[in-house]
Amino acid sequence: MIFLKLIVTNLRRHRIRSLISVAGIAFSVAAMLTVVTILQGAIGMFSSILSNDSEIIVFERDVSDLFFSNVPADAAERISSWPMVAHANPVLFGIVSSAGHPIITCFGVTPADARIEKATWLLGDRNKFAQHEDDVVLGERAAQFLSAALGSYVPIGHATFHVVGIVKTANGFEDGGVFMPLASAQSFFHKEGTSSVITVKLRNKDDAVTFKAMVKAQYPNLIALDDAEFTRSYSQFRILKATAWAVGGCGLLLGGLGVANTMIMSVFMRIREVAILRVNGFSHVQIGGVIFGESAVVSLSGAMAGLLVGSCFLYALKMIPALDGYVDTSLHPLLMMVVLLLALLTGVAGALYPAIYAMRIRAVEALRFE
């Protein structure tokens, strides 16, 4: 009890300084939580586009970005004829722009694609998709920001398209995207005879290994990965994740420096008190425990406050209609644990030098210190 009081006493003695340190950690944690959650949400959404009613993705080997992947159209036809395959759909990804909207995701798909087949059609008839070259189906949000209605013509990129349907999907990228017939998309993006990926659903998931081996044998320049493998290994996702953690880590580092500053000041300002504890039998470990205890209280308080601030901020982002579907605000317990642990480690690291300094204080000299 007294040990705890020794820890808390000093924080209460310098309330403003302690609060600033707590705030430093809190904002660092909130920043890390927000950035990582948003990026993980984005990655999850992009993954879900690829894994829509499929479990394996086939794309060009060693390609840095799926937008640059070229998969021959005949590969999709041949793969779909393999006995273990339930269906294989080629999808072409592209980015187009429209007035006031520099980035609109475009999906070149076949009428059999799950995005068309299983979407909630708000307006239009799914059977009419791909009857004409200039047919497009818009996601609900895309229809809103393009001010498009069923049957209207909308300018997209260098062409004008006829809106034959408006669909609602849970995925922000799809909901803000444009679906074109595959052939039209190939022509629009000058990628005739190719798709970006083939999404494959197997009759039996146990055949995945055989399927991958067959792809490797018959199409050496292509690679087949199941969804989880793809999410783990896709270089863009890895870069995004690394960036998110690096940004969050920098935030925490700054917070840690704040804690270090607080703890150094804390030790310097009570050298005499540390000496009193030494004379009364406190060991180096007990002295270090008081200092580390202080930093742990600061870090954990900051981390808890940061989780609260971060959650509120994510919730506020979710409330913004333009971001609806793009921001996944669900906080994963593992992420929260990792962030808490990192905040605690940051605090401990920040207290390392002050603790060592305190442990080395020589009582006889410190007692002369005024």
Partner 1 sequence: MKALIQDDTERRIVLRAVDLWKSYDEGTVAVLKGVDIGCFEGRAVALCGPSGCGKSTLLHLFAGLDFPDQGKVWVNGAEIKRGSNLLRLLRHEVGFVFQLHNLIPDLTLAENCLIPTVAAGTDRRTAKTRLMELAERTGLTHRLDHRIQKLSGGERQRTALCRALMNRPKILLADEPTGSLDEQSSSAVFDLLLDLVATEGTTLLMATHDRSLALRCDRLVEMHDGKIREHAYAR
Where does this chain bind partner 1 (CB under 8 A)?
Answer: 2-3, 5-6, 9-10, 12-13, 272-273, 276-283, 286, 362-364, 367
Report the distance separating Cα 82 and Cα 214, nearest Å.
Answer: 10
**CB-nearer residue toward partner 1: 11 or 57:** 11
Minimal distance in Å, beta carbon 296 to partner 1? Answer: 18
Minimal distance in Å, beta carbon 289 to partner 1? Answer: 11
Report the distance separating Cα 49 and Cα 173, nearest Å.
Answer: 8
**CB-nearer residue toward partner 1: 23 or 363:** 363
For 60-116, the DSSP string reads ETT-SSGGG--EEHHHHHHHHTSTTEEEEEEEEEEEEEETTEEEEEEEEE-TTSHHH
**CB-nearer residue toward partner 1: 202 or 361:** 361
Minimal distance in Å, beta carbon 298 to partner 1? Answer: 17
Encode burial over 170-203: b for 16+ CB neighbours within 10 A, e otherwise: ebbbbbbbbbbbbbbbbebbebeebbbbbbbbbe
Burial class from Cβ neighbours inside 10 Å (0-12, 13-18, 19+) for residue 204 reads exposed
Minimal distance in Å, beta carbon 8 to partner 1? Answer: 10
**CB-nearer residue toward partner 1: 45 or 277:** 277
Task: For residue 138, give the nearest of 107, 157, 166, 114 by alpha carbon.
Answer: 166
Task: For residue 116, give the nearest of 185, 65, 60, 62 by alpha carbon.
Answer: 185
**CB-nearer residue toward partner 1: 279 or 345:** 279
Minimal distance in Å, beta carbon 356 to partner 1? Answer: 18
Minimal distance in Å, beta carbon 237 to partner 1? Answer: 52
**CB-nearer residue toward partner 1: 10 or 51:** 10
